[in-house]
Structure 1
Amino acid sequence: MLFELVLVKKCSAPQTISFGSYSPVETSGEHEFGTSINYTCDFGYFLDSGNDVRTCNDSKQWTGATPVCKSMAFFNGDPRKLSML
């Protein structure tokens, strides 16, 4: 008999962010290779930097940079960024 061992590559839980969240959230805390998550900022905040979509890659790492949400009360940048809300 010949058995094939298949190891599923998984990323650890993605980094949480202040004033925002990501989905989907896995109850196990791990996401399988190829899974994408979407970050969103809380009401009154905008995505200032980082990536709103990140994917678990074959190196068991999340692609892109962890996003940063900033308060609109202090917004003094490019008004085109506000369209990301």
Structure 2
Amino acid sequence: MTATEASRNFSELLDAIERGETVAITRGRRPVAEISPAHHRTGADLRAALAEIPPPDDRFAEDVADALNAVTDEGSDPWADG
């Protein structure tokens, strides 16, 4: 489908994609894009992705608190030791 056709028939293009089709968009007979159905993410997908990440270490909460203090304390120097 040409870019012009896609623009003029956008609703039909979305209908085709919603039916599961992947549509190639061309410009000057050259393919420039493929539009395919979106992947529907679920809580199970998130759990699976997070399962591969190690949990924060014991110092994590302290690091977050230190970072918040560095940006919220007026007049403090976040780069100073101490």
What is the TM-score when the length of structure 2 is the normalising length?
A: 0.23
TM-score normalised according to structure 1 size: 0.22
Write 1 or 2 for the structure with the bigger share of strand.
1
Relative CO higher for 1 or 2, CA cutoff 8 Å, sep ≥ 6?
1
Say which structure is richer in helix: 2
